[in-house]
Chain A
């Protein structure tokens, strides 16, 4: 049994597990660890029970634990989200090549099946772990907490989480990251920010990717960014191309600034008494 959250068996797999570890009941999601009590009770009176509880509260609780652990270790965590085929993994390997000499970095890869992406990341020389969500269409905070544990992340490092390619569900699942980064490639529709507004509203950064292909496409960048800012006026936009390297320096610098802040915040947390609330 897991000592952190007491979970036992399930279907979703974290690479390296000999047995399935993360609970998953067909949806790749955290399931209750509560043990069954055998209350002696007869059929009760019919009544209304007021509840008012968030459907995502379990995930949010795990996300909070993850975030506290990341803050304590000064780890700057990014949750990369996009449609399938946006060039996320290629962009990530190009990012790693630039960032690796400057900051320790590790990657959690989320896909329904295969370890192909984690294999690609490991080929760059940084630690990576694959989570297969099975039928699930997003990573959740419980899986990420265990994968992060397995990676044994060094203090003051960067953790990139490449979520399952899906612009819908990952927007609702907090993983404990510092920022969601949405990647939209110019080979997609420029109206995606309006079609999937939740994701663009949840993200802090938009990487407009594959911009080297713009001369061959009818993609209207201004229109796309206007749509994106209608949904989220504070969205930071960086135009990137893993092929030409355009924008990668700006992107890597933005990560460095965030990583530095995480380090400073860790230092401040150390010098103040721990919160036991």
Chain B
């Protein structure tokens, strides 16, 4: 819910600065390791968007995969969780380098 309020604030600020009156689609990027349940986010989005400039807007969520850096192999690999071992050498743990982001990427507006 807090995250979606953050989303709406960003959308409203942009509406003011860039002069648009209606949002058709909100494109978010929620990394696989962000610890956020995307379905819960969709639910909260509707609740927050109601009565706002984003009412009725579609929500498009991109989910970039988790990435981890292995200090032994000096390589980055995709990971499913924060505690996945390196798929190359089996070393635990990897330094998480991607997939934790939660961002508003773009808006389709008019």
Q: Which residues of A contact B (CB under 8 A)?
A: 25-29, 31-32, 34, 37, 39, 41-59, 136, 138, 140, 168-169, 171-173, 194, 197-198, 201, 227, 229-233
Kindly report which residue of chain A lies nearest to residue B3, judged by CB atoms.
A55
* Majority secondary structure, A binding face: loop
Most buried by B among A51, A169, A194: A51
Our pick among B1, B19, B24 for the contact of A29 (Cβ within 8 Å) is B1
11 residue pairs from A and B, CB less than 8 Å apart? A32-B9, A39-B19, A41-B19, A46-B108, A51-B104, A52-B103, A55-B7, A55-B102, A57-B10, A58-B6, A198-B35
Our pick among B2, B6, B22, B33 for the contact of A43 (Cβ within 8 Å) is B22
- A198/B103 contact (C-beta < 8 A), A44-B21, A49-B14 known: no
Our pick among A27, A53, A138 for the contact of B10 (Cβ within 8 Å) is A53
**A197 proximity list for chain B (CB < 8 A):** 35, 81-83
**A136 proximity list for chain B (CB < 8 A):** 2
A173 to B2, CA, bound (A): 10
Beyond known contacts A44-B20, A52-B106, A57-B6: 13 more, CB 8 A cutoff: A26-B47, A29-B6, A31-B5, A37-B16, A43-B110, A46-B109, A47-B108, A50-B105, A52-B103, A54-B102, A55-B6, A56-B102, A168-B35
Q: Is the CB of B21 within 8 A of A43?
A: yes
CB distance from B60 to the nearest CB of A (A): 12
Query: Is B107 in contact with chain A by the CB < 8 A criterion?
Result: yes
- A53/B104 contact (C-beta < 8 A), A32-B9, A198-B35 known: yes
- A46/B110 contact (C-beta < 8 A), A25-B5, A194-B83 known: yes
Q: Is the CB of B5 within 8 A of A201?
A: no
| Chain B 74-110 interface 0/1 with A at a Cβ cutoff of 8 Å (1 = within) | 0000000111000000001100100001111111111
- A55/B1 contact (C-beta < 8 A), A34-B13, A44-B19 known: no
A230 to B93, CA, bound (A): 5
For chain B, the bracket of interface size reads 35 or more
Q: Is the CB of B12 within 8 A of A28?
A: no
Q: Is the CB of A47 within 8 A of B2?
A: no
Our pick among A32, A53, A172, A201 for the contact of B82 (Cβ within 8 Å) is A201
**A58 proximity list for chain B (CB < 8 A):** 6, 9
CB distance from B12 to the nearest CB of A (A): 7
Q: Is the CB of A51 within 8 A of B107?
A: yes
Q: Is the CB of B10 within 8 A of A51?
A: yes
A201 to B94, CA, bound (A): 12
**B5 proximity list for chain A (CB < 8 A):** 25, 27, 29, 31
A140 to B3, CA, bound (A): 12
Our pick among A32, A55, A168 for the contact of B13 (Cβ within 8 Å) is A32
A243 to B14, CA, bound (A): 54
Q: Is the CB of A47 within 8 A of B109?
A: yes
Our pick among B9, B24, B96, B107 for the contact of A201 (Cβ within 8 Å) is B96
Kindly report which residue of chain A lies nearest to residue B29, judged by CB atoms.
A52
Kindly report which residue of chain B lies nearest to residue A54, judged by CB atoms.
B103
**B82 proximity list for chain A (CB < 8 A):** 197-198, 201, 231
Our pick among B14, B16, B18, B35 for the contact of A171 (Cβ within 8 Å) is B35
**A168 proximity list for chain B (CB < 8 A):** 35
Our pick among A26, A172, A198, A232 for the contact of B1 (Cβ within 8 Å) is A26
A194 to B106, CA, bound (A): 33
